[in-house]
């Protein structure tokens, strides 16, 4: 069960919003992630980035995404109930993430329905959002998760 | 310029498909990525995963995504032209990635249009896909990229 009391599909109620804590990013972390997975000049090379389209180094959007995911796994996705994810819709990075930023993550349940084909589970759609220390949105996405329904006692 | 001859926005023509090479994943890589960013039992714990929903360890979908991104940066996204990305639509993981899998990545231009507000660039929508060694689709997504248009000589 998460510290927010989320344990089974049945606990994810549309409209509920959960604070998923915050995470900070520094230049070394931005560069090392991007060298491995997204080695574009404005993610890996501070000098090239300074004269580039963002006027400085910015984090790969994928880096922002996985930092957000870590917060969601720790605060929102019940380990007991999680059956994985078929994907996400509409990932957006409205504002860049820069070295020194602190991102606060929150998750809002937007839809929860029982699976028609697999009665042991439900499908939850979540608006996941991250804002920086100035409250500017740096990422949002609609996540889709499969969660086990609460077991029926004695079943 | 990429080895596919992609240099500026003008080179991304709807309908064209590009092979972006392949990448292999092993259990150590799956576990170490997931420990840092997506520590769910079926990504980090081979024993728990064996009795879990996928009958074994599977890669985090985010891991698949960033491995694909690396291939796209190396083969498809022109470093000279790239001005970043506002996001992606419809990420899907139709089939799980398991230790030992080799993923082949390809990119198909689905739309390319000049920006109305910023004449120096165009917006390209790309269907990015990864298939495993059995040709099963493990990820697809519609990526959105901003690319510089070819400079006008003497301008």
The continuous run of DSSP H or E covering A128 comes out as strand A121-131
Residue among A37, A41, A79 whose CB faces B41 most closely: A79
Model confidence pLDDT, tens digit, residues B29-82: 999 999 999 999 999 999 999 999 999 999 999 999 999 999 999 999 999 999
What is the dihedral sign for C-alpha A116, A117, A122, A124?
A: negative
Q: How confident is the model at residue A153 (pLDDT cuts 50, 70, 90)?
A: confident
Angle of helix B27-37 relative to helix B61-75, nearest 10 degrees, comes to: 110
CA B31 vs CA A86, B16, B37, B72, B112: distances in Å: 20, 36, 10, 23, 38
Could you give the strand order of the β-sheet that contains B87-92, starting from the edge strand earlier in sequence? A17-24, A102-114, A121-131, A137-148, A87-92, B87-92, B137-148, B121-131, B102-114, B17-24
The continuous run of DSSP H or E covering A43 comes out as helix A41-44
Q: Does the beta carbon of B120 lie under 8 angstroms from any beta carbon of chain A?
A: no
Residue among A60, A77, A83 whose CB faces B53 most closely: A83
ipTM: 0.96
Residue among B84, B85, B89 whose CB faces A89 most closely: B89
User: Tokens 């501070």, residue?
Assistant: A46
Which of A23, A29, A59, A62 to probe the B interface (max B CBs under 10 A)?
Answer: A62
**Nearest alpha carbon to residue A21 among A105, A108, A87:** A105
Q: Tell if the CB–CB gap between A37 and B67 is shorter than 8 Å.
A: yes
Q: Average pLDDT in the B13-21 region? A: 98
Model confidence pLDDT, tens digit, residues A24-55: 999 999 999 999 999 999 999 999 999 999 99
Q: What are the helix (H) ranges across A59-126? A: 61-75
Provide, as residue numbers in chain A, all residues whose Cβ is less than 8 Å from the Cβ of B92: 86-87
Percent of chain A scoring above 90 in pLDDT: 94
The continuous run of DSSP H or E covering A138 comes out as strand A137-148
Give the pair of three-digit tokens for residue A119.
Answer: 């009665």
Q: Does the beta carbon of A92 lie under 8 angstroms from any beta carbon of chain B?
A: yes
Provide, as residue numbers in chain B, all residues whose Cβ is less than 8 Å from the Cβ of A61: 85, 87
Does residue B141 register a pLDDT over 80?
Answer: yes
Does residue B133 register a pLDDT over 90?
Answer: yes
CA A110 vs CA A16, A22, A126, B90: distances in Å: 8, 22, 5, 17
Assign 3-class secondary structure to B109-121.
EEEEEECCCCCCE
Q: What is the pLDDT of residue A5?
A: 85
Q: What is the nearest CA distance from A102 to chain B, expressed in angstroms?
A: 17
Q: Do residues A80 and A1 touch, judged by C-beta distance below 8 A?
A: yes
Q: What are phi and psi of B99, to 5 degrees?
A: -55, 135
> Residue A124: beta bridge partners?
A112, A145
CA–CA distance, B43 with B35 (Å, rounded to integer): 8
Q: Strand locations in chain B, DSSP E?
A: 17-24, 87-92, 102-114, 121-131, 137-148
Q: What is the pLDDT of residue B5?
A: 85
Provide, as residue numbers in chain B, all residues whose Cβ is less than 8 Å from the Cβ of A96: 84
DSSP annotation of B49: H
Q: What is the pLDDT of residue A155?
A: 64
Q: What is the pLDDT of residue B1?
A: 74
Does residue B155 register a pLDDT over 80?
Answer: no
pTM over 0.90: yes
DSSP annotation of A44: H
Q: Tell if the CB–CB gap between A53 and B84 is shorter than 8 Å.
A: yes
CA–CA distance, A77 with A80 (Å, rounded to integer): 9
């Amino acid at each position: 069960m998460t510290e927010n009391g989320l344990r089974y599909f049945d606990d994810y109620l549309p409209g509920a919003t959960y604070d998923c804590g915050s995470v900070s990013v520094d230049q070394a972390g931005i560069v090392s992630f991007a060298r491995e997975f997204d080695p574009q000049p404005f993610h890996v090379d501070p000098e090239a980035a300074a004269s580039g389209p963002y006027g400085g180094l910015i984090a790969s959007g994928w880096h922002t995404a996985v930092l957000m995911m870590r917060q969601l796994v720790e605060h929102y996705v019940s380990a007991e109930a999680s059956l994985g994810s078929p994907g996400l819709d509409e990932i957006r990075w409205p504002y860049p993430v820069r070295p020194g930023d602190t991102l606060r993550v929150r998750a809002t349940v937007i839809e929860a329905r029982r699976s028609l084909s697999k009665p042991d589970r439900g499908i939850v759609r979540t608006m996941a959002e991250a804002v920086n220390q100035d409250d500017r949105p740096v990422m949002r996405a609609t996540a889709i998760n499969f969660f086990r329904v609460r077991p029926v006692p004695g079943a």
